[in-house]
Amino acid sequence: MKNPDNKLQQPELPQGFSTETLKTIAVVGVLVFAFTNWNMVIAFMVNAMIFIYRLVGHNFGIAIILFTILIRVVTWPLNAQQMKGATAMQEMQNDKEWQAIQKKYAKDKEKLAQEQMRVYREKGINPFGSCLPTLIQFPILFALIPTITYAIGSTPLSLLRLSGYVYQAQNVATLLPLNSKFLWMDLGLPERTLFLGISIPILALIVGLTTYVQTKLTMPPAASADPNDQAAQTSKMMGYYMPVMLFFFSLNYASGLAVYFITSNLLAIIQYALMGRVNWRNLFPGGQK
Amino acid sequence: MKKILLISVLLLAAVLLSGCTGSTTWFGLSAVGDVAYVANNSAVHAIDLKTGNELWTFSGEASSGIFSFGKSPKLFVVAPIVTADGTVIIANSGNDHDMYAVNPKDIADPQKPIPAIVWKFVDVKGHWIAAPLIVGDHLFAPNADGKIYVLDLKDGQSVKKAIKIIEPFKDVPSKPERLWSQPVSDGKRLYVTSLDHSVFAIDLATYDIVWHEDLGGAIPGGAVLGSDGMLYVGSYAKQLERFDPATGKHESVLKTNGWIWGTPVVDGDNLYFGDIVSGVGGYFYSYNTKTGKSNFEPVKFESEITASPLVLPDHVLVVTESGNIYAIDATGAKTSWFEVTKGKAYTTPVFANDSVLVSYIEADYYLIALDKDGHKKWTFPAGK
């Protein structure tokens, strides 16, 4: 076959296959791989954590923070795509053509869906663009819980399971058990600080607060403006329920996980700020208007 | 509708997740006289060894008031111990870290048998993993916070404060000083192992640390005094170490294939113990303290061995993680003694009242009583 421009030719995709479809298939493939090779994923993360722990002079708190930064860096493109997808979907709500087809086919759901897909295609928007990157982060989050629990090894069973996950090359016999003390906390235990005789879960409160701030700051402006916008209202509710959920989670789980949540929240705010997508006004009542 | 569904899912997830402690481990098991005690995470059950029926159960005090909101559940995993007067010492390994002494003779409601609390000790910051040890009138309780709490058992009164807190790691605050195994004593000294690789001896008269040695590997199990008067300890350093209890001078007497988890068991001049070899399984060892040699080549198993072996008159029983139990004779020959279809076994078995008691996790029962031939007598709960 002739190639007069002497350029590498892009292989043609089968009919009906867009780049976005391929991305979706790739994400699903990664998810299927992760969940069918769950022990391999945990083993990789456990060993990465131990490697960092050794590197930073046996400080597990610093290891968790660096590990979180590493995860953020690795998933940066995914997060960026998620932000882009979310913004595109929000902007779509204000698109005149979009609003017109909503009205026109309000009673014909099948036709409406066809028209919506056509508009998505024409504008180059992947309707799953904002949720696929989130989905791919689920295995990481799910694997982090056993990773931190096993690595801290605060019970015989968790230490035994850790023993089964570490690579031979790590030579951890002299390293175990890992030092779980960080600042005033034991990372293997839920954090409580006594104040005037009352036990206060400071770290869990910080998790709740940073989650609230992060969700609020990173909420697109339109998300909190239109009361009829289903997606916007769901985002708004997430702003209230996620902090509550993670607060309860941090209340009873090892504080090492709370350190991860706080670091992750702060890094998310930084990432959004660097991309110029932080809405500081969302933090204040009436600031969204 | 979608909103309600989303909120419900999130709240359900929050409740479920907050209900988990993330620290569940295998069960504690002990037996004294005709009663077996199993700490199955949620409670301690006292079981009549003759019938397999429950005598009483203890799951701590019920939380009440606004400060109990979000409180973590109690977790019972430490093998209960019984004092000379029948008081049962129970540790809560949950995040409240409380220890109870209960009186099984004092049960208010026979329909709902719960023993009365004699005293409660709460002044600790770490998990209880090790069973405490009674020496004379004192209870020596090692904690995962690196301290040994000495409590007075004499008057049976409330001991809200320890009469002595031994802090072997006071000068090394950055080390992970978890004390996970029951100490051993010769009456004059207490020998304690820690997960941070340390073995140390404490003078029981002065509570001073007499000597302190580093083994170079984590020590999840305890020390044992051999018939030769020496102290033996296994560790993650893949060797059995012999200590002179007087001086702490030590040497490796046997190299192993894997990490030694369980406390070695003494039977005359012989020591028995197992190990864990990641990805392979485990090996069983028999070491003669008199000759200083192994009695036979290590016996290989398909799964790991965390439990200490159980010595019976004709053979030694080895409980493996798979739940299967094997009998090893004096020549090292292995025969299958009991097989399970479901469950994992990590807890050291106990022999009491002509029964071999084995505790399982991830099974249909917490405890099974087997006769001397490995046949089932009963399970707890029954009917499984």
Interface pTM (ipTM) of the complex? 0.88
Tell me the shortest Cα–Cα distance from B93 to chain A, in angstroms.
9
Contact A248 B17 (CB under 8 A): yes
Q: Across the interface, which of B3, B95, B261 has its CB nearest the CB of A190?
A: B95
pLDDT at B378 over 60: yes
pLDDT at A153 over 90: no
Give, rounded to a whole angstrom, the gap between the first and last alpha carbons of chain B: 43
Confidence of residue A189 (pLDDT cuts 50, 70, 90): confident
Burial label, A87 (beta-carbon count in 10 A; 0-12, 13-18, 19+): middle
Which residues of chain A have a CB within 8 Å of the CB of B197?
174
Query: Is the minimum CB–CB distance between B15 and chain A shorter than 8 Å?
Result: yes
- How many residues in chain A? 289
The pLDDT of B211-224, averaged and rounded, is 94
Contact B276 A242 (CB under 8 A): no
Return the closest-CA partner of residue A124 out of A84, A66, A68, A176: A84
Contact A179 B23 (CB under 8 A): no
Contact A173 B17 (CB under 8 A): no
Tell me the shortest Cα–Cα distance from A117 to chain B, in angstroms.
22
What is the share, in percent, of chain B residues with pLDDT greater than 70? 88
Q: Across the interface, which of A168, A174, A180 has its CB nearest the CB of B217?
A: A174
Model pTM? 0.83
pLDDT of residue A155: 87
Query: Is the minimum CB–CB distance between B2 and chain A shorter than 8 Å?
Result: yes
Query: Is the minimum CB–CB distance between B344 and chain A shorter than 8 Å?
Result: no
Contact A173 B259 (CB under 8 A): yes
Return the closest-CA partner of residue B339 out of B366, B312, B375: B375
Give the start-to-end residue ranges of the domains of chain B. 24-130
Which of B56-70, B120-134, B225-239 reaches the highest mean pLDDT? B225-239
Residues 182-211 of B with CB under 8 A from A: 195-197
Q: Which residue has the higher pLDDT, A219 or B178?
A: B178
Contact A156 B21 (CB under 8 A): no
What are the tens digits of pLDDT across the range A90-139?
777 778 888 888 888 888 888 888 888 888 878 777 776 666 666 777 78
* CATH class of this structure's domain B24-130: mainly beta
The pLDDT of B301-321, averaged and rounded, is 97
Q: Coil, strand or helix: which one is A115?
A: helix
Q: Coil, strand or helix: which one is A270?
A: helix
Residues 166-185 of B with CB under 8 A from A: 173-176, 178, 180
* Residue B32 to residues B89, B115, B138, Cα–Cα distance (Å): 13, 17, 19
Closest-approach residue (CA) in chain A for B261: A160
Which residues of chain A have a CB within 8 Å of the CB of B176?
177-181
Give which of B17, B129, B169, B360 to mutate to test A binding, by max A Cβ within 10 Å. Answer: B17
What gap in Å lies between CA B205 and CA B193, rounded to an integer?
19
